[in-house]
Every structure is written in structure tokens, then in C-alpha cells.
Structure 1
Amino acid sequence: MIQNPYRTSWSASLPADEPTVKCVLERSRRFLGTVLDPNEDEMGVPQLVRYTEGQEYNLHHDWMRIPHAAFDGSPRTFNRVASFFVILQDECVGGETWFPFVKPVSPQLNGNDEGRLWREHEDGGLAFKPLAGNGIFWVNLFPNGTGDTRTVHAGLPVTGGLKTAMNIWPRQYRPNP
């Protein structure tokens, strides 16, 4: 378990050498198309997250302000170029993923949110309902490698039940200046 002042949810890494995990990572890589350099970049280790009643993850972004050093000892650094957030279990009340700086691209349909997978949040931005089998994808970095602050998001409190999800953060490497 990772303890963090911004979150009360639990998380654990998945074994990257497990066949099902390999399959998920390969599908994610194919989804990215040419975003990753096949000779330089890599998919990160997937992470499971679990939220029980009262747990949340406060506003944060997935990119790193200071890119991390490569684990292979080379003079490269990496950052999380994008994020996949997939809901695996949605037996909960609450627990939306909220992006306060994201605006809808189309107006509300007759002002009716029933059946919609997202809603306009009362404090601005969009909130996505947790629904097993659904996922959210976003790009964290601008082409120059700097973080996009519009990707700030939060896991709103689960007010009842259990929410389980998986994060995947593809790693984009750059030469260390």
C-alpha cells in the first residue's frame, strides 16, 4: 500500500511478465499508435487502485514536474506521456473521476444527464461515472515534453461500496539535457 497525503485509496503494481498483463499492455501500445518510439519508449507497469467507502484521490496530475531518470542507468529521463484509467469494478456510489479544467465539446442533450457517462460538475469541468469495462484516456504532455495542466483530475469520494480500476502510464524518454 502506498500512503500519500493526496489520496486515501489503495494501490498495487501488477506483474508485467504475467500473460494477461502483457496482453493489456500490448493493446494499450497499439492504441497509442506512433506516440511511442518502439526503440526508446515503453509502457509503464500497470497499477491497480481500489477505493472503499470514504476514500478519494485529491486533485493531481499524472505527469511529473521533474522527469525521472531511466531505470537502465542511461543518461535519459522519462515522463508519463499519457494515461489510461480503466474501471474494473463499479459496485459503488460516487467515485467519479473529475477533470475541473475540461469542457464538453457538445452541449448537454436536452439538459438530461440520465444514462450519460459524464456530467458537467457543479464546480466546473467534467466528472466521469465509474462503469466497469469503460476507460478514460488522455495525453499528459505537450509535444515539447512539458506537462499539460488541463489534465489535473481527482477521484471523487466513494460514498458507498467499492471501486476498482487500473492505471497505465506509458513512458516517453528524452535525452537528459
Structure 2
Amino acid sequence: MKYSVIICYLLPENGEDIQVLRYEHGQKYDPHYDYFVDKVNIARGGHRVATVLMYLTDVAKGGETVFPSAEQETSHRKAPVENDDLSECAKKGIAVKPRRGDALLFFSLLPNATPDTSSLHAGCPVIEGEKWSATKWIHVDSFDKNLAAGGNCTDLNGSCERWAALGECTKNPEYMVGSPELPGYCRRSCKVC
């Protein structure tokens, strides 16, 4: 995952309800992305742009959140975590140990609104103890919007005009323009309506 400045609006109506999860010994979450590839989920508010993962408990061993495809830049490195302190799963990428009261914020989209494949992440198996976490996902658009109301020619993101000027209407047509079944978010700026 590259470090970059992303200016976006994380509006309350774009968020899903918080989900609380409990992981017992051996339980894990396989590697996955928080953005979508299917039209049904994209229609319900668009991609998840941001994830806030809140740790509600300490975990004695295991339970880390690991980013196996992320690369850490040397200028941002902290003192290395002792390898004995991480599970084998967590050693396969950049990992965050769950500590009660900590929160992890990461983005699933690049600044040009395309999916960031380095945001692949997983929950490592709990080896000792129990893990409780709460997750809040923020979408590009209002979550569970009413698609039946369609037909209006508007931009659904404040950056649409700038993105269109940068050529994103042709570089990223799925998001910007959309299709008859799933309208894009920048139809007005792309001059398709």
C-alpha cells in the first residue's frame, strides 16, 4: 500500500452500520478487498472507499490484521516489531497487532477512484485469547441509495469535474459514466446526459 494524501469527504450517509465481530481460537478472515467487483454491491453506494477497524480487546497471540500485498516505504518505518511478537500469518506482509482502543484506517481506492489492489488484507487466526473488533465502512456514495429514482443528470462526487478534466471519463468509464443498468457517478461532468 502506498502512502499518499487522499482528500475526500467521508459523509455519514455514505457509511454502513458498524459491525461487531468476535473471533475465537483458530478463527480468521481470509484475504479480501473491501471494494467490490459485482454490480449489485456497487449499486448500493459504490465501492467502499475507507475502512475503519476498531480493536475492542487485546489479543494475547495472533489475530493481527495483515496486508500481504502492501509495501512499506523506508521513510515511514518505525522500529521493527519483534518477530516473536507476531504470528506466522502476520509475517507475510505489513501487520497490525490488535490492541484495545486502537483503530486502523485504510483506503481501498486510489486518489483517481480506481481500486487499490495493495489494500488486500486478512485477519490472522487467533492463537491465544479472543478478538473483538468493530468495523465501519464508508462508501463513495450514500449507502443503500434508491436507484429507482434515477434519471437525474448530476455528479455524485464533488471531484467529478476535476476528474473529467483529467480524462477519467475515458480512463475510468465504469465509475465515471457507468452503464444503463448502473449509472456512473460523474455523468454530468462526462457529458453523457
- Scaled by the length of structure 1, what TM-score is found? 0.64
SS at 1:82 equivalent: strand
3-state DSSP of counterpart to 1:68: helix
Report the Cα distance in structure 1 between the residues aligned to 2:116 and 2:29, rounded to whole angstroms. Answer: 19
Match of 1:68 in 2: 42
Q: Which amino acid aligns with 1:88?
A: L
The count of residues paired between Structure 1 and Structure 2 equals 134
Partners in 2 of 1:158 and 1:58 — Cα distance? Answer: 13
Asked whether the equivalents of residues 118 and 128 of structure 1 are also in contact (C-alpha less than 8 Å), the reply is: no
Deviation at 1:69, TM superposition (A): 2.0
Compute the RMSD of aligned alpha carbons: 3.1
Preserved contact between residue 92 and residue 161 of structure 1 (Cα < 8 Å): yes
Candidates 51, 54, 72, aligned match of 1:86: 54
Distance 2:49 2:71 in 1: 21
Candidates 34, 40, 65, aligned match of 1:97:
65
Give the distance between the partners of 2:120 and 2:78, measured in 1 at CA.
23
> What do the CA deviations read for 1:67-105 (whole angstroms, capped 9, x no partner)?
4324xxxxxx52201111110112432111110122223
Moved over 6 A (4+): 117-120
Return the structure number with greater helix share: 2
TM-score by length of 2: 0.59
1:171 to 132, 135, 139: 139
Deviation at 1:108, TM superposition (A): 6.2
Structure with bigger strand share is 1
Describe how 1:108-123 pairs up with structure 2 within 5 A: 109=79, 113-114=81-82, 121-123=90-92
CA 1:79 to 1:159, structure 2 compared with 1: closer, same or farther past 3 Å?
Answer: same
Identity of aligned residues (%): 31
